[in-house]
Amino acid sequence: MALDTLERSAPPIFRQGLPATSKLVLLALLAIALMASDHRFQISQPLRTGVAIVLAPLQWLSLQPARVVQGLAQYFGSLEAAQDAAQEFQTRTIAQAQRLQLVEQLQQENAQMRELLNLRTQIAGPAKAVQVLYETMDPYTDRIVVDGGQIAGIEQGSAVIDIAGVVGQVTRVYPLVSEVTLLSDRSHSLPVMNARTGTRHVAIGDPFLAGGALELKFVPSATDIKQGDLLTTSGIDGIYPPGLHVGHVSQIDRRVDSSFARVHATLVAKPRGRHLLVLTPVKDWPAAPPPVHETKPLGKGRTSTPTAAGVKP
């Protein structure tokens, strides 16, 4: 017998029960009745409560991975925000420190400028304010470069001073900048005078003594000179006006085998600030105006002998 000819239905001797369609209808009616009764009488509420109690630990356990991931994300987000805030705070702190340093520097420069302007009013000759740009790179010289040149009216040989005293002399002039040789340069010489005794000397730069000083040449051993004596410009060179502070005598070496003493002096002025004052050489200063004479009337048609202003006849 072929397989496709076999009867696949149940033998009629077995009981089949309700058809599938009838079961579906009955179950649907039962579900509707249960839902209606549950909606009206809350029959399934205790069951739901029990199921919720039983499933609560499982729900809590199932939520933990998500909470851990969320907590880690929040932690790292907060850490990154804190790092950004700390970096921003550090940046602002550095910027404020820079501003504070700039303010302090500007205050110092303003104070120096006021003192230079006050000094400028005390000097009879013309003067120009300049700013220090940089030091020259030659290790065998002591020179600086300032921002004034031929266009600004700076002349070669002009004296350079600050609020403390003489700094140096303009030795090279370019269109926009000038080169200033400091007093401590070995090629610079300056006629000075001892303010205490009035004796004149010639000071030569000595860059190797105490970071820059002066040496007085040809000072007789018997000369009255002491440590601490103030040296000022004598004014006989026609470049520096007389009376500017130059330095203080710091060391005196009177040798027995020599008729000259070796005298060193420390400088009172060094280009520590950014602003200096350039003085036109004294020989180029305009001549002082002659004294004004005035006549004093004695009476009608008579005048007195002309006399200088402020001087009694």
3-state secondary structure the chain: CCHHHCCCCCCCCCCCCCCHHHHHHHHHHHHHHHHHHHHHHCCCHHHHHHHHHHHHHHHHHHHHHHHHHHHHHHHHHHHHHHHHHHHHHHHHHHHHHHHHHHHHHHHHHHHHHHHHHHHHHHCCCCEEEEEEEEECCCCCCCEEEECCCCCCCCCCCCEEECCCCEEEEEEEECCCCEEEEECCCCCCEEEEEECCCCCEEEEEEECCCCCCEEEEEEEECCCCCCCCCEEEECCCCCCCCCCCEEEEEEEEECCCCCCEEEEEEEECCCCCCCEEEEECCHHHCCCCCCCCEECCEEECCEECCCEECCCCC
Calculate what percentage of the chain has a pLDDT beyond 70.
76
Predicted confidence band of residue 8 (pLDDT cuts 50, 70, 90): low
How many residues in the chain?
313
The residue ranking higher by pLDDT, 116 or 313, is 116
Q: Which residue has the higher pLDDT, 293 or 125?
A: 125
Cα separation of 253 and 231, whole Å? Answer: 17
Who has greater pLDDT, 276 or 113? 276
Interval 192-202 mean pLDDT: 91
Check pLDDT > 60 for residue 154: yes
Q: Are 277 and 159 in contact (CB under 8 A)?
A: no
| pLDDT at residue 192, as a whole number | 93
**Whether pLDDT at 208 is above 80:** no
What are the domain boundaries of the chain?
25-122, 127-284
User: What pLDDT does 120 receive?
Assistant: 62
- Residue (of 273, 139, 271) closest to 207 by Cα position: 139
What is the predicted pLDDT for the residue at 121? 62
Alpha carbon 250 to chain centroid, angstroms: 35
Amino acid at 148: G
Q: Is the pLDDT of residue 143 over 80?
A: yes
Region 280-302: mean pLDDT is 58
Q: Which residue has the higher pLDDT, 179 or 293?
A: 179
Give whole-number Cα distances, 309 to 249, 299, 303, in Å: 42, 20, 16
What pLDDT, on the 0 to 100 scale, is given for residue 187? 87
pLDDT at 239 over 70: yes
Cα dihedral across residues 11, 14, 15, 21: positive or negative: negative
Quickly state the pLDDT bin for 13 (edges 50, 70, 90). low
Phi, psi of 65 (to 5 degrees): -55, -40
Rounded Cα–Cα distance for residues 109 and 300 (Å): 61
Does 196 score more than 80 pLDDT?
Answer: yes
pLDDT of residue 4: 56
Identify the band that residue 312 occupies on the pLDDT scale cut at 50, 70 and 90: very low
Contact indicator for 181, 142 with CB cutoff of 8 Å: yes
Please determine, for residue 213, whether its predicted confidence score (pLDDT) is greater than 50. Answer: yes
DSSP β-ladder status, 127-135 and 275-279? antiparallel
Q: Which two tokens stand for residue 59?
A: 């729900």
Q: pLDDT tens for residues 34-85?
A: 888 877 877 778 877 888 888 888 888 888 888 888 888 888 888 888 888 8
Mean pLDDT of the 244-249 span: 90
Q: Which CATH number fits domain 127-284: 3.40.50.2300, 2.40.10.340, 1.10.443.10, 1.20.120.530?
A: 2.40.10.340
What pLDDT digit, counting tens, does each position of 80-112 carry? 888 888 888 888 888 777 777 777 766 666 666
pLDDT of residue 116: 65
Please tell me the least confidently modeled range out of 114-118, 210-214, 225-229, 272-276.
Answer: 114-118
Among 191-205, 209-223, 294-308, which range has the highest average pLDDT? 191-205
pLDDT given at position 307: 47
| pLDDT at residue number 306 | 47
